[in-house]
Structure 1
Amino acid sequence: MNNPVNYPEITKNGLWNNNPALVQLLGLCPLLAVTGSVANALGLGLATLLVLVGSNIAVSMIRKAVSDAIRLPAFVMIIATFTTCTELLMRAFTFELYQILGIFIPLIVTNCSILGRADAFASKNPVIPSAVDGFMMGLGFGLVLLAVGAIREVLGNGTLFADMHLLFGEGARDWTVHLFGDYSGFLIAVLPPGAFLATGFLIALKNIIDTELKKRADARKARPVQGSKRVRTTGAIT
């Protein structure tokens, strides 16, 4: 009998506990290369999310029909198919953004987090849980992309949501927010070292939060034990 699916746990793992970028440290090449702005980060995040959900669903559907000998090649072919479909969609509807992201769209095929979810989760679970897992893992990865892109855009150019028309059309040209009146820019933020620094900051912040949450959880567990000891001691003295 199959174990019940724990959707809250799947959600928590994708967004926080097992985040592909902050915990597994997978997919760092595109994360560091194309997160110079929110528009770039959002485009790559949506593309990765689409491939993750689609490949997880397809892998789950064929999981009982594929032998162990050809399992991984079959998974790679599925991921490559969805990556090609995503690439063609971007070329058709967001061609300028596709040109900016360049080789990192086809390289989604080699993203270890996508193959890892296909092998570790989708190949062992039904379609709906696999789709949820792919969506949450993709969303967690995309949120980190957005955070890094926002940090680099704000520090590097003093703007936010610039060039969003590349993704949402001409109506989004006026979405740019200028945060500083006369800002000369911070060059290192828009260069690759800026991506390393921003990512390291986010990983450190997550570790600090996790440590603090663990301390509070341990303190809550310790209180009832200490209270029961006091009761037993008082009874013995009486």
Structure 2
Amino acid sequence: MNATTRTLWRDGLWTNNPGLVQLLGLCPLLAVTGTAINGLGLGLATLAVLAASNVLVSLLRHQVAAELRIPVFVLIIATLVTVVDRILAAFFYDLWTTLGIFIPLIVTNCTLLARAEAFASRRPVIDALHDGLAQGLGFLLVLVVLGSLRELIGQGSLLAGADQLFGPAAAGLTLQLFPEQHGLLLAILPPGAFIGLGLLVALRQHLHTRRPAPRSAPSTEPAGTSAPGPETA
């Protein structure tokens, strides 16, 4: 993995995470994360659309006139979202019913158009693919973590509804850690989504700012001269 690819993955997963740093796609992020499986389902759909749209935009970047690029990008994204929506309706009907309007609303996720315009339309296909996968995975992880926390605190369970995504054999994957009636109702209501996301953003910012400053190279000055201090972050 070269330096450019490492930077793309670091940006998508941490430095420029769509959900925790750019704060894009908050409508589905807050609306569907009542459970981990709902978050995982929407995250996988978004990742697939983001990676595919980045690749197609990169492939067509020299064929699309500058004044038409935004309508063309929106058409590409809308077509891919329609394909994903039909696949979910055909093979994952229960999950598709649960996610409802938020699958078609992937079209309005600003992350997709932003990456198409700012990155994929200016870079080679392989870089565009890595960027789409990294940004999509970063968004997916936020969906799953937030959904898991809300489900655990609100219902006392993890992976409820796993059979909707993985088939009937996965029904036994649900973990009920304590009775649902002992859960905190606030966690599964809309205010709980805002509070949970705010805490995740704060935690990410805290961890990011606590990273140690890079150490300076050992001094090669003669003895008796003061060496420069460490760089500040």
Query: TM-score, structure 2 length as denominator?
Result: 0.92
Q: Distance in 2 between matches of 1:132 and 1:119?
A: 15
Q: Distance in 2 between matches of 1:127 and 1:212?
A: 35
Please, which moves more after superposition, 116-125 or 179-188?
Answer: 179-188
Q: Match of 2:225?
A: 232
Q: What whole-Å deviation, never above 9, does each CA across 1:8-29 have from its counterpart, x for those lacking one?
A: 0001000000100001000000
Q: Distance in 2 between matches of 1:229 and 1:210?
A: 36
Structure 1 residues 72 and 154 mapped into 2: Cα distance closer, same or farther (>3 Å)? Answer: same
Structure 1 residues 58 and 156 mapped into 2: Cα distance closer, same or farther (>3 Å)? Answer: same
Structure 1 residues 229 and 188 mapped into 2: Cα distance closer, same or farther (>3 Å)? Answer: farther
Q: Match of 1:118?
A: 116
Q: Which amino acid is the alignment partner of residue 213 of structure 2?
A: A
Q: Distance in 2 between matches of 1:224 and 1:209?
A: 27
Q: Is the Cα contact below 8 Å between 1:20 and 1:141 reproduced in 2?
A: yes
Q: Is the Cα contact below 8 Å between 1:5 and 1:129 reproduced in 2?
A: no
Secondary structure (helix, strand or coil) at the match of 1:6 reads helix
| Higher Rg of the two aligned structures | 1
- Counterparts of 1:1-238 in structure 2 under 5 Å? 6-180=4-178, 184-213=182-211, 216-218=212-214, 220-221=215-216, 224=218, 231-232=224-225
Structure 1 residues 48 and 182 mapped into 2: Cα distance closer, same or farther (>3 Å)? Answer: closer
Q: Offset of 1:5 from its aligned partner?
A: 6.9
- Identity across matched positions, percent: 50
Aligned-residue RMSD, C-alpha: 1.9
Secondary structure (helix, strand or coil) at the match of 2:23 reads coil
Q: Distance in 2 between matches of 1:73 and 1:5?
A: 33
Q: Is the Cα contact below 8 Å between 1:10 and 1:133 reproduced in 2?
A: yes
Q: Which amino acid is the alignment partner of residue 232 of structure 1?
A: T
Structure 1 stretches of at least 4 aligned residues deviating more than 6 Å after TM superposition = none
Q: What whole-Å deviation, never above 9, does each CA across 1:55-82 have from its counterpart, x for those lacking one?
A: 0011001000111110000000000000
Q: Offset of 1:183 from its aligned partner?
A: 5.0
Aligned residues: 226
Q: What whole-Å deviation, never above 9, does each CA across 1:104-138 have from its counterpart, x for those lacking one?
A: 10000010000000001100011111011100100
Q: Which amino acid is the alignment partner of residue 10 of structure 2?
A: K
Q: Distance in 1 between matches of 2:30 and 2:73?
A: 26
Q: Is the Cα contact below 8 Å between 2:155 and 2:179 reproduced in 1?
A: no
Q: Offset of 1:150 from its aligned partner?
A: 0.4
Q: Which amino acid is the alignment partner of residue 145 of structure 2?
A: A
Q: Is the Cα contact below 8 Å between 1:38 and 1:162 reproduced in 2?
A: yes
Q: Distance in 2 between matches of 1:48 and 1:233?
A: 54
Structure 1 residues 228 and 122 mapped into 2: Cα distance closer, same or farther (>3 Å)? Answer: same
Q: Is the Cα contact below 8 Å between 2:18 and 2:24 reproduced in 1?
A: yes
Q: Distance in 2 between matches of 1:182 and 1:25?
A: 31
Q: Match of 2:230?
A: none
Unaligned runs of 5+ in 1: none
Q: Which amino acid is the alignment partner of residue 217 of structure 1?
A: A
Structure 1 residues 231 and 12 mapped into 2: Cα distance closer, same or farther (>3 Å)? Answer: farther
Structure 1 residues 229 and 76 mapped into 2: Cα distance closer, same or farther (>3 Å)? Answer: farther
Secondary structure (helix, strand or coil) at the match of 2:225 reads helix
